[in-house]
Structure 1
Amino acid sequence: MKLIILSGAQKTLRSMPKHDAMAMLGKLHLFAADPYARHAWAKSFGDGDGRIRHGDWRALYQIDNGVMTVTITRVGNRREIYR
């Protein structure tokens, strides 16, 4: 599937520590390659929504099967991302 990272999520990725941002990007690309595979660091909330975690960082995603995309809507620290 195609990976789309919204501008707000891109901004957060750029402001993260470099090693965390690179690891998160790697996980995002692995997830987008096969979003329905079992990933220990990914959790589905249902209806195509879920989260990907790396340390204290979380990325919220939405899967759209109609256009075959995984959209990263938000990236942030775990204590702030769900607010």
Structure 2
Amino acid sequence: MHASKILSPCSGVCTIAGEDTPFAGHCIGCGRSLDEIGDWRDLDNDARAKIMSTLPGRLRRAGFAVPNILKEAIAP
């Protein structure tokens, strides 16, 4: 039996902040960097969980809302 992978935190917004913003290179919908988005498929659950734990704070610090899909994914 295989352990299920942590699902993507993608909220469907999929908009990368411009280089002229403090959130440059990050998606304003999920908070991931371009590298994290590109690597997501190949990451193991530990690496995904580590990234997931940082996303709400990243989004809040940048002034963006934390999407429900992300809140539900990291809820205890």
Larger helix fraction of residues? 2
Larger strand fraction of residues? 1
Question: TM exceeds 0.5?
Answer: no
TM-score of the superposed pair, with normalisation by structure 1: 0.32
TM-score of the superposed pair, with normalisation by structure 2: 0.34
Q: Which of the pair has more CA radius of gyration?
A: 2
